[in-house]
Amino acid sequence: MSKAYKILTAGQWAGWQDKGTFSGAPIDIEDGYIHLSTAEQVAETHAKHFDGLHDLVLAEVDLDQLGDTVVWEPSRGGQLFPHVYGTILLEAVTDARVIPD
């Protein structure tokens, strides 16, 4: 199983659970795809985009379930990041945990 991670606010996570699908956070909607990070990238993503924020959740997503909606594209420093062009069903989330403050 190929995994990637999405950092969410508690409210975004609750909405995903309620709806059963996730279409993205405001930045994702603005950019036209859902930003995900690999295990090696998630700490840097957290530091760069979520520093000082509280009540965050880390969702682990099974990329294999997303098929060809996942596109690996260069971003920070040329690193390849998994971007999802579509929605993510709740069933693709294999784990979710609160990120400690």
The predicted structure's pLDDT at residue 20: 98
Q: Where are the domains of the chain?
A: 3-99
Per residue in 19-75, pLDDT tens? Answer: 999 999 999 999 999 999 999 999 999 999 999 999 999 999 999 999 999 999 999
Q: Is the pLDDT of residue 1 over 90?
A: no
* 75-89 confidence digits (pLDDT tens): 988 999 999 999 999
**pLDDT on residue 19:** 98
Whole-model pTM? 0.94
For the domain 3-99, what is the CATH code? 3.20.170.20
- Report how far apart, in Å, the C-alpha atoms of 25 and of each of 15, 77, 78 are: 11, 23, 23
Residue 93: predicted pLDDT: 98
